[in-house]
Structure formats: structure tokens, C-alpha cells
Amino acid sequence: MNNIRITGTKWYVKVEYGDCIARFDGEMCVDGFYAIASSISWIKHIGSITQDEVATLIEAVMHFNKKNAFKVYFVNDDGSMWSQPT
């Protein structure tokens, strides 16, 4: 799915990805929005949610970042940059 739409405020971003809508808390900074990966809350989702699906959503946003001036960076609770769990 290449259809991603990102909206929000200076305190959260809302990511529309396919038929799902997720919200991440965080903070707007000079170089982009820093979203806390663990703060995800689903606004719209069909079926059960897996950790792989969350990782897929975050990876899709990171890929989407490559072609946009506005960047969304995902961080862990300790402030380190998010990486897909192994």
C-alpha cells in the first residue's frame, strides 16, 4: 500500500494507511516530528493488531519520508531512534 496521509498538530501525528488510521503522540521540532513509537493508538482498524503490523506501518511512514520535505521520526521511550524489533 503506497497510499499514506499524514496530518496532525504539534503534539501528535495521525497516519492514514490503507483502511487503518493510527495516532502517535510526540513533538514537532525544527527538523520534523518526533513520534513515540509505543504511543500508538488506533483510531480505525479492522481485525486484531499484531506487532508486525505496527512495524509495517512505521516502516511505510519511514519510506514515505524519503520523498517528502516533512519528516516523521520514530523514537523509543528512552529517546533512542526506533528500529524494527528482531
First-to-final CA distance of the chain: 23
pTM: 0.89
pLDDT value of residue 1: 45
- Between 52 and 36, whose confidence is greater? 36
Give the pLDDT of residue 85: 67
Alpha-carbon dihedral 8, 55, 40, 75, rounded to 10 degrees: -80
Lowest mean pLDDT among 8-12, 17-21, 71-75: 17-21
Q: Which residue has the higher pLDDT, 85 or 41?
A: 41
pLDDT band at 86 (very low <50, low <70, confident <90, very high): low
Percent of the chain residues past pLDDT 70, beyond the cut:
95
